[in-house]
Amino acid sequence: MPELPEVEITARLLDRELAGREIESVAAPGINALKTFAPPLGALEGQHVAAVRRRGKNLILESDGGLVLLIHLMSAGRLQLFDKRAGPRDRTSRLLVRLAGEAGRDPAELRLREFGSKQAAWVKLLEITELEGEEALAKLGPEAWPDPPAGEELRKLLAVPRPLHALLRDQRVIAGIGRSWVDEILWEARLSPFKRGSDLDEAELEVLREAIVGTLGRALAHYEDTLSLPIPDKLPMPLLVHRHEGQPCPRCGTTLEAVHFEDYVIAYCPAEQTEGRVLKDRRMSRLLR
Ligand SMILES: [Zn+2]
């Protein structure tokens, strides 16, 4: 499930490899993935990649001709670079960007692939002037990393009576955190996932901010050390708490517990985050703030 660190490392590695390269052709075999029709994909042909970057969990590929591909991987997408073209039977392909061969470099194919049965990943081709007004970006809150709001600004941002676990995953509040990293951040901050944003005191806000910056930054540093192109199908996420329920807390040794929801799981250390209380059912989680 790609979140800020996974999308950021994808953007960095692709930017280093693709900047300056000529786009030979673009195709969208996953026809439902392409959400725009003007300009047409063919408008990118002959242009060069200017940069690949990230905003929230979105990837942005800019061309030197003033166009941008805005890509959201959703829960199961990957943006991978290969030196061979995808075969017609590759059912995971949603978008193919072919890079021309040039002096000292072979042709390559940038492929948006998606695993699993759902088609949720999407792509938009926009004029660069339309990018900031595009709804997927216009509604995003400030970036969670490297420099999220601090002090009074952060207090105002989180001053709503919603559980931290939901609040921090809301991209309109703060951009980049999802179901995996939120568990790690709250564990790092020793805060209950069910505590309300409006109940945080000044010291807790500061600890939370440090945990956000530190946790996401360490994940990114780990990826810089371990990943290269193409980004692997299965990301080696360095998680300590998320999906580790039933195992000892890496800090205090208490057994990590989990609350199961329909489509996700909250993992936490009861000794350090919920004053020893163990809740496994979401109806009970209302009691645990
Ligand atoms: Zn613990």
Q: What is the average pLDDT value for the chain, to the nearest integer?
A: 93
Residue 282 pLDDT exceeds 90:
no
CB 52 within 8 A of CB 229: no
Q: What is the pLDDT of residue 117?
A: 78
What's the mean pLDDT in 201-227?
97
pLDDT tier, 126 (very low <50, low <70, confident <90, very high otherwise): very high
Interval between CA 269 and ligand 1 midpoint (Å): 5
Interval between CA 171 and ligand 1 midpoint (Å): 28
pTM assigned to the model:
0.93
231-264 pLDDT, tens digit each: 888 888 999 999 999 999 999 999 999 998 888 8
Interval between CA 142 and ligand 1 midpoint (Å): 30
Q: What is the 3-state secondary structure (H, E, C) of 85-114?
A: CCCCCCCCEEEEEEECCECCECCEEEEEEE
- Length of the chain counted residue by residue: 289
CB 83 within 8 A of CB 76: no
Residue 265 CA to residue 242 CA, distance in Å, equals 8
Residue 283 pLDDT exceeds 70:
no
Interval between CA 250 and ligand 1 midpoint (Å): 7
Residue 287 pLDDT exceeds 60:
no
pLDDT above 90 covers what percent of the chain? 81
Interval between CA 261 and ligand 1 midpoint (Å): 22
Q: What is the pLDDT of residue 176?
A: 98
Q: What is the pLDDT of residue 285?
A: 54
Interval between CA 174 and ligand 1 midpoint (Å): 26
Dihedral in degrees, nearest 10, Cα atoms 79, 142, 38, 25: -20
Residue 219 CA to residue 198 CA, distance in Å, equals 28
Residue 63 CA to residue 127 CA, distance in Å, equals 10
Neighbours of 218 (CB within 10 A): 14
Q: Among 58-62, 116-120, 167-171, which stretch is predicted with the lowest mean pLDDT?
A: 116-120
